[in-house]
Amino acid sequence: IKLNDKRSYKQESQGKRRVLQGMRIGAARAGAKAARRALGVELPLKSAWPALGAAPPTPVLSCEALAATAGARTLFADLSLQLGRERLAVRGPNGSGKTTLVEIALGLRQPARGRARCDTSRVGYIAQNGANWRLDDSVVERLAAQRDAPSPAGIAAILHAHRFPLALADRPLATLSPGERVRAALVCLGHRRPAPELLVLDEPTQDLDFVGLAALEAVLAAWPGGLLVVSHDPEFLAAIGVSRSLAL
């Protein structure tokens, strides 16, 4: 009788345990589905960028009869260029002077001849491998400093709109990989005040994996301003809407 009582109690306990376990598993599955639905919400990429308004009549940068040399070799000569919110690629073999031209146009280097003017307040620049963004600040800190009333939810929404991994957003920019740093710099530039009208990117696809490249293409395709891009990749340039090129 005692053994039968214990057996009955054990069977009842196991039955209750199975019911409770089933309820917990069901709740966990429902929570996972709700989380997947929440994560699956894709904000329009255009909402990640600021509205720029009407374009001013003056170009962002202009170059007149530029010439540059490397030792005894002439890289380019008599090069003139004006750029505002247009999209232009700079192409050419290694050593042809692409980075040199960008640095001269931005006022970071003096030309051998000619003159360059640039309104740096209207430009966002990311050097090769994001070298000029090796900073101790994180993306979260930069975004918080650029907003009047920063909130964790608002910053998280910005990062999600740019498809930037939240796990990387709290790390110092200097500790990110070159590809991650380029994407992080774009997020920060997109929410700078005043917003840049022209993004200047030197080999932005270098060191990007397939997922990073796809995210970069989507974000730049939605960018409302101008682009000056140094790149060897015609498919990337077509994906971001760059149809004009300057060959060195």
Residue-by-residue pLDDT tens, the chain, 248 positions? 888 777 776 667 777 777 777 777 666 666 555 554 444 444 445 557 777 888 888 999 999 999 999 999 999 999 999 999 999 999 999 999 999 999 999 999 999 999 999 999 999 999 999 999 999 999 999 999 988 777 888 888 888 888 888 889 999 999 999 989 998 999 999 888 888 999 999 999 987 888 888 888 988 998 889 999 999 899 999 999 998 999 99
Handedness of CA 44, 41, 218, 241 (dihedral sign): negative
Please name the amino acid found at residue 189.
L
Answer whether 168's CB lies under 8 Å from 140's CB.
no
Q: Whole-model pTM?
A: 0.78
Q: How far apart are the first and last CA of the chain?
A: 97
Torsion angle, CA of 60/155/175/136, rounded to 10 degrees? 70
- Characterize 165-191 residue by residue with b for buried, 16 or more Cβ atoms within 10 angstroms of its Cβ, and e for exposed: eeebbeeebeebebbbbbbbbbbbbbb
